[in-house]
Amino acid sequence: MMKTPLIIEQHFHGAYGVDFNRAEVNEIIDLAKKLKSTGIGGFFPTLVTDSVENIKRQIAVIKEASKSCPEILGIHLEGIFINPTKKGIHNSEHFLPLTVENYKKLEDDFIKIVTLAPELDEGLIEYLKKNEIKVQAGHCTGFGKVDAVTHMYNAMSGVTHRGISTALSALINDDIYTEVIADGIHVSDDALKLLFKSKPEDKVILISDALPITYSNIEETTFADSKIYYDGKSAKSADGTIAGSTMLLPEIIKILGNKNMFNPRFIQNTYNYHNLHPIGEITWDENYNITNIEY
């Protein structure tokens, strides 16, 4: 038996058919209730690249939902300020230069995390840090003065034996946090082992990067302006580009646990990263099934 704090999802785009880039207030409130029943006690709705107008609209929607849902801890803005060469599923038509002026087009005090490409920075990183917003390197080829990297290994320059890269810099820098999607699809077991061996155990953050189709009957949807197809195992675009995950963190933790790769510290790390006090408690059995949730 193992006890941990409730899980915090700091990077996911939706679940149960709810898409944070499209959802209405009542849908987000209903989703929060479902998440609590799975052991997820807090989350940062993550907005994928979109038009400035729609992102502003969805920020307002999420803020309104948060009035009824203390589980909503802030917004993770992923996209708009990323590198087209590492765009993944994102629509580069909406990308903007990394300037303070452009950020102010959608600025809001509920944005707590921004994923961006440090190598393209034109003063935005310094501005975000002054406003106590977590800056994460993602969909990029550089590194810079960031607090964390977004979904380690995915959509970034990989480990290399010549020169520098985002992944390599993240592995050797003990001061920054590393998000990782440990669903067995986005990152191989060997790459996970390298991460867990290289990084201090208090700097690993598990994320799901879950898509809205997660735990739904949806097999085809539009996400980030692209058609996404779910084959029962993974979700990809028509050209084979892998999108986010199709499972939430409790399931990912079970997968890691059954491979003897899970460290309970990984759950606590997200609290530390955001200076949050533990929320409730989860009891797990020896097979990493949740047997009790206390709020």
Q: Residue 184: helix, strand or coil by DSSP? A: coil
- Taking 70 as the pLDDT cut, the residues of the chain under it are none
Instruction: Provide the phi-psi class of 202: left if phi over 0, else alpha when psi is between -120 and 50, else beta.
Output: alpha
Q: What is the pLDDT of residue 233?
A: 87
Q: Answer yes or no: are the C-beta atoms of 237 and 228 closer than 8 Å.
A: yes
Pick the CATH number of 2-294 from 3.20.20.140, 3.40.50.450, 3.40.640.10, 3.60.70.12: 3.20.20.140
Q: Where are the domains of the chain?
A: 2-294
Q: How far is CA 51 from CA 43, 79, 212, in A?
A: 23, 10, 19
pLDDT, tens digit, 9 for 90 and up, residues 216-239? 999 999 999 999 999 988 999 888
E strand spans, 200-269:
204-207, 220-223, 226-230, 235-237
- Angle at which helix 52-66 crosses helix 25-37, to 10 degrees, equals 60
Q: Answer yes or no: are the C-beta atoms of 166 and 137 closer than 8 Å.
A: yes
pLDDT, tens digit, 9 for 90 and up, residues 180-215? 999 999 999 999 999 999 999 999 999 999 999 999
Q: Distance between CA atoms of 149 and 160, rounded to whole angstroms?
A: 17
Give the residues across from 15 on adjacent strands: 18
Is the pTM above the cut of 0.95?
yes
Q: Distance between CA atoms of 252 and 179, rounded to whole angstroms?
A: 13
Q: What is the pLDDT of residue 279?
A: 86
Q: Distance between CA atoms of 19 and 47, rounded to whole angstroms?
A: 9
Give the residues across from 3 on adjacent strands: 283
Q: Distance between CA atoms of 202 and 196, rounded to whole angstroms?
A: 10
